Amino acid sequence: MQPAELIAALEANHGVFAAQLRGVPEALRAWRPREDHWCLLEIACHLRDEEGEDFRARVASVLDDPSRRPPQIDPQGWVAERAYMAQDYDTAVEAFLSAREASLAWLRGLEAPAWDHAYQHPEYGPLSALFFLTNWVAHDYLHLRQVTKVKYLYLDRHTDATLQYAGEW
């Protein structure tokens, strides 16, 4: 895919995330399908933090100076370190959506970006700006699936109706 297509996908995903994450009932926000799975609050906080500190930062770093190591991140550690479960759901969702809008504005404002610039990772080899942009879109899809699954499982556990008629999950 070309960068313009990937940026368009990020924009489309913004709308999907807004529709999926806004207006979620209070009971669903902190509900977990299993103890070791993230709830919607944790997902929203993760998306907010990843938006600026992972993908946008890494694309910017590689475009700016491919010899410089991209910023370090710790998405799993941030859950406890940043006390995701103590945060406000609506605030996290709106912060993520605003950060995505800022990312889109930044991406659209790039003038002749060198998408082939690559950081030479000691273990994984060249990681280009296009690589990070593509994985940004993939990350969206993974979390859209995750949000949908949490909502599906919540429905399944909180209804007396069988969901078999809807189709196989």
Count structural domains, the chain. Answer: 1
Q: Which neighbouring-strand residues pair with 120?
A: 126
Q: Which residue has 């940043």 as its token pair?
A: 82
* Cβ neighbours around 54 below 10 Å, total: 19
Residue located via tokens 């859209």: 144
Centroid of chain to Cα 118? 22
Percent of the chain as helix, strand, coil, to the nearest 5: 65, 5, 30
Q: Report pLDDT digits (tens) over 69-109.
A: 998 999 999 999 999 999 999 999 999 999 999 999 999 99
Write out the residue range of the structural domain in which residue 123 sits. Answer: 3-166
Domain CATH number, residue 77: 1.20.120.450
Whole-prediction pTM value?
0.95
Tens-digit pLDDT profile for residues 32-73:
999 999 999 999 999 999 998 999 999 999 999 999 999 899
Residue 105's nearest CA partner among 5, 1, 7, 3 is 7
Residue 169, pLDDT above cutoff 90: no
